């Protein structure tokens, strides 16, 4: 399938400063792509170029397989900037009706579009309220409805969760999932990294104008995570459990392979969880599912009562901080 968004060597310079350096990006249709990066990394610059608001210094932008062109591209893109200005002294329905007029819709089309969008973003009850009376979360949803007025296949959302309270963030996530189910392709930037994993199908990490890593969330997590991590909690006899596990560390003092069952992983390190004295945190360079199962069976065979045994995946925020600090 043709990518919804594709960039080839996309670059933007401001004098001698390179804000975006040779960005190659491919986003599949129907995906939610999270764009991660610190302030000044090039996220907003990228979104503005994709929206046709900023000229690239060099490179190519393809939208739904077609080169970006003024007029045509605006029909394909719905853009929600990081700071969405809303017009005071307009009622909610008037605000959307105004933009529907800008797209040349007749009266019947406008009425149907405004009604559908208000229902989609759950603002039907606020239809006759003045825009300035809405909460921050409601204004964000209204701005998203504005970006959807012309029913574009691609949405560009710059920091859509910025400034929202926890309830509004949950509502935004649910709305994004609904848009994905409708077949929309969503590219969003955010600093709220922990929430991207819950809603995005793919992510890209950008640093100093360069894409560091890009792909499906779990693929990126596996690429960046420093080995496999397990949390093993035992009911009692923690020192015994710790010694059994320590014997599996590579280069351990004993490490008697003649007594060691086959299929067990070679551990790299372990430590007691400082927040829970009965939990042991184990690390290995790599660990397959069959090795995890063998390790659990081995502990049980040693009469160790295991109450918790699970993989510990680093969250996106931990991965991002470690990556950008390198």
With respect to residue 176, please indicate whether it lies within any of the assigned structural domains: yes
What is the C-alpha to C-alpha distance for residues 25 and 67, in angstroms, rounded to an integer? 14
What is the C-alpha to C-alpha distance for residues 273 and 252, in angstroms, rounded to an integer? 21
79 and 200: one domain? yes
218 and 240: one domain? no
Segment of 21-25, 162-166, 204-208 carrying the highest mean pLDDT: 21-25
Please give the structure tokens belonging to residue 83: 């700071």
Domain boundary among 201, 224, 247: 224
Structural domains counted in the chain: 2
Q: Pinpoint the alpha helices (H) of 122-164.
A: 136-147
Domain boundary among 224, 252, 282: 224
pLDDT in tens, 53-67: 999 999 999 999 999
- Note down the domain range covering 238: 228-317
With respect to residue 121, please indicate whether it lies within any of the assigned structural domains: no
211 and 264: one domain? no
Evaluate whether 280 touches 273 at the Cβ level (below 8 Å).
yes
Percent above pLDDT 70 for the chain: 88
Residue 252 has pLDDT above 60, yes or no: no
With respect to residue 78, please indicate whether it lies within any of the assigned structural domains: yes
71 and 154: one domain? yes
With respect to residue 126, please indicate whether it lies within any of the assigned structural domains: no
Q: Please enumerate in sequence order all residues whose Cβ is within 8 A of that of 40, keeping only pairs 6 or more positions apart, or say none.
A: 208
43 and 161: one domain? yes
Domain boundary among 188, 209, 224: 224
With respect to residue 56, please indicate whether it lies within any of the assigned structural domains: yes
* pLDDT band, residue 253 (cuts 50/70/90): very low
153 and 292: one domain? no
Its pTM stands at 0.77
Residue 225: which of 187, 197, 247, 248 has the closest Cα?
Answer: 197
With respect to residue 123, please indicate whether it lies within any of the assigned structural domains: no
pLDDT in tens, 8-33: 999 999 999 999 999 999 999 999 99
CATH number at residue 270: 3.30.70.260
28 and 161: one domain? yes
232 and 279: one domain? yes
What is the C-alpha to C-alpha distance for residues 232 and 297, in angstroms, rounded to an integer? 13
With respect to residue 99, please indicate whether it lies within any of the assigned structural domains: no
With respect to residue 74, please indicate whether it lies within any of the assigned structural domains: yes
pLDDT in tens, 84-121: 666 778 999 999 999 999 999 999 999 999 999 999 99
Q: Kindly report the backbone phi and psi dihedral angles of residue 177, in degrees, each rounded to the nearest multiple of 5, phi listed first.
A: -65, -40
């Amino acid at each position: 399938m043709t990518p919804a968004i594709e960039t080839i060597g996309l670059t933007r310079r401001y004098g001698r400063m390179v804000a975006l350096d040779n960005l190659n990006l491919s986003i599949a249709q129907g995906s939610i792509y999270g764009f991660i990066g610190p302030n000044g990394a090039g996220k907003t610059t990228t979104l503005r170029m994709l929206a046709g608001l900023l000229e690239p210094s060099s490179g190519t932008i393809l939208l739904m397989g077609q080169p970006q062109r003024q007029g045509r591209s605006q029909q394909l893109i719905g853009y929600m900037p990081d700071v969405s200005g809303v017009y005071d002294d307009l009622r909610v329905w008037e605000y959307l009706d105004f933009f529907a007029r800008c797209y040349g819709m007749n009266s019947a089309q406008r009425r149907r579009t405004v009604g559908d969008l208000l229902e989609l973003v759950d603002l039907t009850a606020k239809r006759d309220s003045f825009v300035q009376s809405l909460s921050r979360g409601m204004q964000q949803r209204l701005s998203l409805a504005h970006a959807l007025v012309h029913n574009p296949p691609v949405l560009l959302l710059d920091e859509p969760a910025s400034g929202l309270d926890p309830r509004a963030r949950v509502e935004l996530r649910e709305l994004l999932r609904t848009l994905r189910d409708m077949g929309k392709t969503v590219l969003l930037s955010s600093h709220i990294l922990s929430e991207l994993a819950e809603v995005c199908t793919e992510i890209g990490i950008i640093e100093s104008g360069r894409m560091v890593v890009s792909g499906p969330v779990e693929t990126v997590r596996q690429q960046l995570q420093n080995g496999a991590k397990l949390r093993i909690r035992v009911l009692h006899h923690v020192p015994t459990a710790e010694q059994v596990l320590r014997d599996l560390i590579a280069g351990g003092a004993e490490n008697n392979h003649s007594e060691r069952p086959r299929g067990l992983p070679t551990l790299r390190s372990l430590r007691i969880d400082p927040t829970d004295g009965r939990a042991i945190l184990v690390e290995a360079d790599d660990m397959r599912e069959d090795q995890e199962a063998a390790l659990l069976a081995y502990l049980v065979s040693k009469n160790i009562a295991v109450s918790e045994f699970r993989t510990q995946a680093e969250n996106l925020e931990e991965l991002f901080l470690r990556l950008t600090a390198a």
